[in-house]
Structure 1
């Protein structure tokens, strides 16, 4: 297996992404190490909010939210998961696992942001972030979620099964076009190219192809036991917890009530289903999502 590094020339013309590069070395396992890239914007002593992306995006997804949050007084930390963005990419699909992603993201947080922090998470950013909240709720001040869940088996929807099959078998796995189809507003050609930038060839897409098959949506899958244990801590999380989901997300747009009814801190919050909002809600409704973070930080007394 090779651990691929990013090609800086492919990121030379990324629009609306003026952020400095930051890096943390991660123990990937089996004797491998890799560099995780992350955005770090805002004063170091400001209240910290973690911004976790999902499949198959990267921290570019938060370019519209970060300036709003920094102006509001936050320090924003947005990592690129291993296999995505500017972070290193193992080229073996079988090397990726749910537990390894948890370990990699946990290592990054312990090194970069060990203090208590708020969390915004979407898609796989939620499968990772919500699990980490459940495992250590005391480290999180509040949570805002969008188009995500913490699954523990069951029966997957036909839409998800189609997406999982496509990610595994499609000979033309064009990341930028996937983002285009999963937003309710139109992306520019430069934005589509920005989502393609991390993936110059098939080996670099191993992490993106692997993620859908790792979602524990069917009984017997790896990750179910860990998520069931995490749900005990997540359900009792009594600090502010807000859901802002997209009405136009065909896979996850309807699951927010499952979070609202189970998580203590979700009671009494102003949850919303956002119109003209697809799966990648950060592209469609960044102002509303950022305002949700600001509101929860105020309720938590950290802003």
Structure 2
């Protein structure tokens, strides 16, 4: 397993030129980067499945140029963080608790939480657990409720078939379908992704045993069935986010077919009528691959306009 950013292939390393840092969170080794002035407002960039901090590589630079502190963790199971091989390690509650532990370890205050994909349920859960650490929140192609569920996730083919008990470990574990083919299909500029991004995701998941989270985490997506293992947690999340009065912004890929903006971005505005946006950018589900720098500019403007920012 690659231990630090310095050990990545040179073509990947040059696109994510930061210093590796590690924290112990609930007994696990979590990798993160922490760049910018330590006393500046921190922006916490949170990824989902099957990505890691590298997804935010083009977003980091505009935030640093704006004088902000940028913290980008790799969720346990991804990137350069420890990769438990037991599916039991990868519950939504465990991943949320890992982010809470990182917030406490770094003593982050006045944080802007930026939540994408599973970074939404985990990051928002951490925010609700440590509300005193939060200054603002941004959501991107994510959700925090039971209904509506995504028609993409409801579909038998390819999603539910791909995550069936035997098919999931075979396709996503043995053959690494998610960081390769799955991400390729979820960006707009596919040739650009092949040339600039794909190797950054496949290179950190070379071992089938290290890909456990890519096929176990999707099974926690609630689909409105009695067997949903996270129904109680998502009910808690929706109730909690409805009570938040933090400054908020909504950024979405206009081509997103996993969480279509007319349904899911609109739902965030129903929950937070005060939220900025929706700021639509070029992008499907992994919108950072197409519009990473533009997202960084939007976030820099948002954080710069927060009360007490000096702007």
With the shorter chain as reference, the TM-score category is: 0.7 to 0.9
Residue 123 of structure 1 contacts residue 146 of structure 1 at CA under 8 Å; is this kept in 2?
Answer: yes
Deviation string, structure 1 residues 164-195 (Cα, Å, up to 9, x no partner): 43242525223133222211122143521111
TM-score of the superposed pair, with normalisation by structure 1? 0.88
Determine the C-alpha separation between the residues in 2 that align with 1:94 and 1:149: 23
**C-alpha displacement at 1:301, in angstroms?**
2.0
Match of 1:30 in 2: none
Q: Which runs of 5+ in 2 are unaligned?
A: none
Determine the C-alpha separation between the residues in 1 that align with 2:234 and 2:149: 16
Find 2:285's aligned residue among 273, 279, 289.
279
Match of 1:129 in 2: 123
Residue 150 of structure 2 contacts residue 259 of structure 2 at CA under 8 Å; is this kept in 1?
Answer: no
Match of 1:290 in 2: 296
Find 1:260's aligned residue among 260, 265, 269.
269
Match of 2:98 in 1: 104
Find 2:188's aligned residue among 175, 184, 187.
184
Q: How do 1:231-242 and structure 2 match up within 5 A? A: 231-242=238-249
Deviation string, structure 1 residues 84-103 (Cα, Å, up to 9, x no partner): 00000011224311111111
Residue 36 of structure 1 contacts residue 82 of structure 1 at CA under 8 Å; is this kept in 2?
Answer: yes
- Structure 1 segments of 4 or more deviating over 6 A? none
TM-score of the superposed pair, with normalisation by structure 2? 0.86
Residue 179 of structure 1 contacts residue 195 of structure 1 at CA under 8 Å; is this kept in 2?
Answer: no
Residue 235 of structure 1 contacts residue 264 of structure 1 at CA under 8 Å; is this kept in 2?
Answer: no
**C-alpha displacement at 1:26, in angstroms?**
1.9
Secondary structure of the 1:17 match is coil
Residue 235 of structure 1 contacts residue 262 of structure 1 at CA under 8 Å; is this kept in 2?
Answer: yes
Determine the C-alpha separation between the residues in 2 that align with 1:113 and 1:165: 42
CA distance 1:157–1:189, change in 2 (3 Å):
same
Find 2:75's aligned residue among 73, 76, 81.
81
2:23 equivalent to 1:24? yes
Determine the C-alpha separation between the residues in 1 that align with 2:286 and 2:145: 19
Match of 2:134 in 1: 140
Secondary structure of the 1:187 match is helix
Determine the C-alpha separation between the residues in 2 that align with 1:179 and 1:104: 25
CA distance 1:231–1:25, change in 2 (3 Å):
same
**C-alpha displacement at 1:159, in angstroms?**
4.6
Secondary structure of the 1:89 match is coil
